[in-house]
Amino acid sequence: MSKKLTVDGREVSFTDERNLLEVIRKAGFDVPTLCYRSDLSIYGACRMCVVEIEGRGIQTSCTVPPEEGMKVTINTERTRRIRKVVIELLLKNHDRECTTCERSGSCDLQNLSNKLGVKQLRLGKREEFLPLDESNPSVVRDQNKCILCGACIRACKEIQGHGVLDFANRGSNTIVTPAFKKDLSQVDCIYCGQCVAHCPTAALRIKSDIDRTWKEIHNKDKVVVAQIAPAVRAAVAQKFNLDPQKTVQLIAAALRRIGFDKVFDTSFSADLTIMEEGTEFVTKFTEKKNLPLFTSCCPAWVRFAEQKYPQYLSHLSTCRSPQQMFGSVIKELLPKELGTTKENIVSVSIMPCTAKKAEAVRPEFQTNNIQDVDIVLTTQELIKMIEEAGIDFAHIEAEEFDSPFGLFSGAGVIFGASGGVAEAAVRTAYELITKKKLEKVTIKEARGINTLKEIILNIEGQEVKIAIVNTLIEAEKLIERLNKGEVYYDMVEVMACPGGCVGGAGQPQLRDCCSRSGIQDRADDLYEIDVALPIHKSHENEDIKKLYKEWLEKPNSHSAHKLLHTHYKNRKRINSEGLSFGKNSEHALMNIEICIGSCCYKNGSYKLMDKLNELIQKQNLQDKVNMTAVFCFENCSSGPNIKINGEFIEVKPENAEEIFNKYILAKVK
């Protein structure tokens, strides 16, 4: 039932909005925020969204539930003054080199400073600068630009269930960091980039490969080849307010003007993926072996599975992702078409995803130290290159893709939306199993941006159960249900980003108030393209048929496996280097090792560590007991994991004192 309150003297209706801020925005008013994200928990740290409530004074609108009859004023002398002072305090500790900043023009802090008319800074500027973390291929972490809003911490925990980042230290020394101030490459970060997508400044940003790309384009000895992922066209169309069906041809034209020699659509290799993965699924489904089959298109999910659930690696499809399949095909077959060598080919993929940058440099995707995909650009980087080149994107003439890999089906296009891989696979698997034509290709139950979708299909009397999940926190819940035998599936599609690739961290960021609807709009655009295309099934793609006839024999053949498949390995042990508490003694009688990896962290390893450390000091056992934190014992079925003199001990944080007395104190006293 609708209720009413007043905002700046105007009556506003509300129903189930979770806070006053949402009511205010729904009514068309704007209140500035830095820490608030509608898809994350409420934090209320930045104090930018303050309003005055009659009878209550100054309140943060994001933390106050709306109530009948409330009288709210947004812009008073006090609220404006508070916001300006908050901005000044944040800028005091902020690296203000805006002209060279990646986020200049799209930085929330910069934009709010301009909107609020902050022209003078009375508090000086930052004097001590911390080093950049550029240790990984996907994300740059710059603590000098961090405003401690906590959005990255919440995104990592609440979207991916991972907890790689957290606050450390206190007061003016507070920072956001991985455990023990490690670099992101030294912990179990999956490089999904959701922390980047939620960061209001450039404290977390995509590692740019624009300069590398320009350098290769200007090298006359190189043939520079681009592939464009399906989700990219939807985001670019949304950014420029264009028809999504035409946008991909505009991108092809823009890339040629930039200087790319050949331009292809990754939807082609998505079709190729379906041929391989569909055949793989049919084989496993027929043999009832290693089910469910997990999809392997998402590199963040693959890395997560290798780190957290290696027992399921035999269930993970051995198919490379469409990016890596196309990279392999380009390096192996295109030199023969062009009369050159693979060393002279520069393969560039344009992706909605930051984790694709890390995927491209995996050793599995290199031959004689030559990467299958040399450079990965995100959608954001593509737009910057178009702008750098001075191209009037909306008004250039559309162009088609190059041969011999120029055709693609609607099944390949919908890969970019959550549920698209499963739907595309079913379109082909159905005809492989039944040998009959599938007339109705749309599977509505697979569509939408819900984090979990479950489908039961009847194929000639055989029941096929499919689960579709996006975000890894939802994937983890599903796997735990599988472990307990609560559910059974034949296939599970997993994508790490909300809504699938259309919600990838490399896409242009959406305004917070419409992020879910914006992601859904992108997905809908891909489904509309599917409808408009002449073919909707991967196995009906004539260029795919030709590729198999001339080079690959048939799906899952030896030739196909060599070029299009890969292998996985247990990657639980991210960093075996221990972190000691105090100075370890050479003459200690006991060594305690405690795992602080993500699984054990969530099960309370930090609390356990603190309690044991407290008990060791209380009993003055520092010289007799060495305690070390390690990043993984590869024993994630339980936790927190602890080793005492090399022996695993079952323990919970609440039992720390009992364990201490039984296994430590009794043996060293």
Helix (H, G, I), strand (E, B) or coil at 347: strand
Domain boundary among 40, 75, 110: 75
Which pair of structure tokens corresponds to residue 149? 């809003």
Alpha carbons 581 and 588: distance in angstroms, whole number? 13
Specify whether 191 is located in the same domain as 328. no
Name the nearest CA neighbour of 7 among 80, 65, 62, 69.
69
Which has the higher per-residue pLDDT, 105 or 522? 522
Using the predicted structure, report yes or no on whether residue 649 has a pLDDT greater than 90.
no
Specify whether 414 is located in the same domain as 554. yes
Which pair of structure tokens corresponds to residue 530? 């599917």
Confidence of residue 463 (pLDDT cuts 50, 70, 90): very high
* Mean pLDDT, rounded, for 655-662: 81
Residue in the structure block whose two tokens are 């004539």: 542
Specify whether 532 is located in the same domain as 649. no
**pTM of the predicted structure, to 2 decimals:** 0.85
Residue 549 lies inside a defined structural domain of this protein: yes
Specify whether 455 is located in the same domain as 559. yes
What DSSP state is assigned to residue 311?
Answer: G
Confidence of residue 67 (pLDDT cuts 50, 70, 90): very high
Specify whether 474 is located in the same domain as 344. yes
What DSSP state is assigned to residue 221?
Answer: T
Domains in the chain: how many in total?
A: 4
Residue 342 lies inside a defined structural domain of this protein: yes
Alpha carbons 61 and 326: distance in angstroms, whole number? 49
Name the nearest CA neighbour of 644 among 620, 617, 662, 669.
662
Residue 486 lies inside a defined structural domain of this protein: yes
Pairing outcome for strands 3-7 and 71-73: parallel
Lowest mean pLDDT of 197-206, 223-232, 605-614, name the range.
Answer: 605-614
Residue 376 lies inside a defined structural domain of this protein: no
Specify whether 185 is located in the same domain as 303. no
* Predicted local distance difference test score (pLDDT) of residue 510: 82
Look up the CATH number of the domain holding residue 293. Answer: 3.40.950.10
Helix (H, G, I), strand (E, B) or coil at 276: helix
Residue pair 293/492 in contact by the 8 Å Cβ criterion: yes
* Mean pLDDT, rounded, for 458-462: 86
Alpha carbons 189 and 155: distance in angstroms, whole number? 13
Residue 301 lies inside a defined structural domain of this protein: yes
Alpha carbons 272 and 278: distance in angstroms, whole number? 10
Name the nearest CA neighbour of 531 among 381, 410, 669, 371.
410
Residue 590 lies inside a defined structural domain of this protein: yes
Which pair of structure tokens corresponds to residue 117? 């008319």
* Predicted local distance difference test score (pLDDT) of residue 556: 93
Pairing outcome for strands 579-580 and 590-595: unpaired
Alpha carbons 315 and 302: distance in angstroms, whole number? 11
Specify whether 455 is located in the same domain as 592. no
* Predicted local distance difference test score (pLDDT) of residue 514: 56
Look up the CATH number of the domain holding residue 595. Answer: 3.40.30.10
Chain segment 572-592, per-residue pLDDT in tens:
654 445 555 555 556 677 888
Specify whether 273 is located in the same domain as 336. yes
Using the predicted structure, report yes or no on whether residue 146 has a pLDDT greater than 60.
yes
At position 225, the amino acid (one-letter code) is: V
Residue pair 502/231 in contact by the 8 Å Cβ criterion: yes
Question: Domain range spanning residue 331?
Answer: 267-348+404-564
Convert 318-357 to b/e letters by CB count within 10 Å (16 or more is b): bbbbbbbbbbbbbbbbbbeeeeeebeebbbbbbbbbbbbb
Domain boundary among 75, 110, 127: 75
At position 487, the amino acid (one-letter code) is: V
Confidence of residue 669 (pLDDT cuts 50, 70, 90): low
Alpha carbons 574 and 252: distance in angstroms, whole number? 40
Helix (H, G, I), strand (E, B) or coil at 51: strand
Alpha carbons 551 and 331: distance in angstroms, whole number? 14
* Predicted local distance difference test score (pLDDT) of residue 255: 97
Residue 607 lies inside a defined structural domain of this protein: yes
Specify whether 545 is located in the same domain as 597. no
Alpha carbons 36 and 47: distance in angstroms, whole number? 10
Domain boundary among 564, 588, 615: 564
Confidence of residue 564 (pLDDT cuts 50, 70, 90): very high
Specify whether 92 is located in the same domain as 71. no
Name the nearest CA neighbour of 142 among 75, 97, 88, 179.
97
Specify whether 550 is located in the same domain as 586. no
Chain segment 238-289, per-residue pLDDT in tens:
999 999 889 999 999 999 999 999 999 999 999 999 999 999 999 999 999 8
Residues involved in catalysis = 277, 280, 297, 317, 356, 359, 364, 501
* Mean pLDDT, rounded, for 102-112: 90
Residue 360 lies inside a defined structural domain of this protein: no
Name the nearest CA neighbour of 479 among 461, 494, 465, 460.
494
Name the nearest CA neighbour of 30 among 70, 65, 61, 68.
61
Pairing outcome for strands 625-630 and 579-580: antiparallel
Specify whether 510 is located in the same domain as 593. no
